[in-house]
Amino acid sequence: MNAADIQELTGLVREFCEERDWDQFHNPKDLAIGISTEANELLDLFRFKSEEDMREIFASTDKKIRVEEELADTLFFVLRFAQMNNIDLKKILEDKLAKNGQKYPVEKIKGKNLKYTELD
């Protein structure tokens, strides 16, 4: 993966939206809808698919591009949500990892697919 600063990508997204005068529509609720609907277009590509089907998707150039496009649309709205609401993505990710590190201590969760509410 190439170096890619989040600020730089966010700048591209902001420019794209500002050129189109879209600030007026981009309130938090509708941007959160944007993340959810795009995430579900990504999810839809794996509906009813087996492990083998999924390997086939990533082995096919055409199908892999579909996956990448839906993931890109999801990322677009994540960056836009942060930009419109002055949220520092690096900071909140680091803070959340620190918090989740306590909810999911390595010695209790290692190799388990449990929710922290299911840990004793």
Tell me the two tokens of residue 100. 């989740």
Rule CB under 8 A: choose which of 100, 103, 116, 119 binds its own copies: 100
According to the binding rule CB under 8 A, does residue 80 interact with its own copies?
no
According to the binding rule CB under 8 A, does residue 59 interact with its own copies?
no
Classify the phi-psi angles of 86: left when phi > 0, otherwise alpha if psi is within -120 to 50, otherwise beta.
Answer: left
Residues 16-55 touching its own copies, rule: CB under 8 A, are: 16, 19-22, 24-30, 32-37, 39-51, 53-54
Name the minimum Å distance from CB 64 to its own copies. Answer: 8
Rule CB under 8 A: choose which of 56, 60, 68, 103 binds its own copies: 68
Name the minimum Å distance from CB 21 to its own copies. Answer: 4
> How many Cβ atoms sit within 10 Å of the Cβ of residue 104?
15
Name the minimum Å distance from CB 120 to its own copies. Answer: 15
Residue 28 CB contacts under 8 Å (≥ 6 apart), including other chains:
81, 84, 85
- Report the distance separating Cα 61 and Cα 57, nearest Å: 8
